[in-house]
Amino acid sequence: MIDGGVDDVVNGDDEDLLLLALRRAELMIARQGVLFRKCRDLATERDNLQSAIDNLPSPIFFKDRAGIYSGCNKAFESFIGLPANKVRGASVYDVAPEELAKVYEAADEELMQRGGVQIYEAEVCYADGKYRTVTFHKAVTRDPVSGEVNGLAGSMLDITERKRLEEQLKRAAERDALTDAYNRRRFFELADSAEDRAKKTSASLSILVLDVDHFKQINDRFGHACGDAALNHIVGLLKNVLQAPHIFARAGGEEFYCLLEECGLDDAFTIAERIRGAVETTPHMHGEQVIPMRVSIGVASVADGEKVSQTIARADDALYCAKQAGRNRVCMA
């Protein structure tokens, strides 16, 4: 029996069935080999993809349809302070403060319902506890067979420094470099907006033009550094007296404009007197030196059909009258 061949153990009637079974087994082994190679190739592609995204500087993450993290790159691990195996299976509530997690969750759900891509700015809390501003770039992923949304992929771009620079540029465009008060250009932008609001609501709008009396004498006697400090002293007093929605700006030199919304001529005069009194009773201290300061102020209210620039011209005329009348006083146009 041991020395026999297949013909000794298989009847002639079973030979065809055995050959068919062997052929099927051969085909199954071949298919399993193909499947194995495909699985190996997919694993290689996955590892190559993971290696590629791990070398990218931006945090990248993947989530399933339920919003649960299914993967990430090294940059995301560093951002979140957790290894990938801890990120997988976590939700946004496990890796972010609740107030931020709610924002991310709502954005994810909106994207998965709508499909396509999504770009938005949001705050994030890094592993070190510091908050930074990022731009999220996200897109849905789809099942290759059904085409149904099965999750999303996203990346984060840190724009904190860019936002800081933008804010600095915006501030430089709007603010006086010496006093940090609004500059003349920004004042007229805000005045135009206030003028439009006043027309819609029939509210009063008034202008003060303020000039520091004998400012040149301060510069000549105590120096320009003292003069600069004196202007900042005036700005501090204006901040104390003027409350929102009123604003002021340094028009140039020692002259300031004040814009008083919902304020008629009489109330504007009262506010101007309050400013004048604050300046008169609060001298500027230059070291041990007490430097008395005074201001003259012109007041005007925007008339029907009048532009703010025209009102400023009338307030400036009133300021001239205050100067001519002896300074340290308020005059109305």
Cα(182)–Cα(62) distance, integer angstroms? 46
Nearest alpha carbon to residue 243 among 256, 230, 261:
261
Burial label, 51 (beta-carbon count in 10 A; 0-12, 13-18, 19+): exposed
Count Cβ atoms below 10 Å from residue 238 Cβ, excluding itself.
24
- β-strand partners of 234: none
In the chain, % helix, strand, coil (3-state, to 5) comes to: 50, 25, 25
**Is 161 annotated as catalytic?**
no
Bond before 292 cis per omega within 30 degrees: no
Tokens standing for residue 157:
């771009």
Q: How far is CA 163 from CA 60, 62, 99, 124, 155, in A?
A: 21, 27, 21, 14, 18
Structure tokens at 180: 């940090």
For residue 88, count CB atoms less than 10 angstroms from its CB and return exposed for 0-12, middle for 13-18, buried for 19 or more. middle
Q: Which of 254, 262, 280, 306 is catalytic?
A: 254
Sign of the CA dihedral running 94, 98, 103, 105 = positive
> Which residues are known catalytic residues?
254
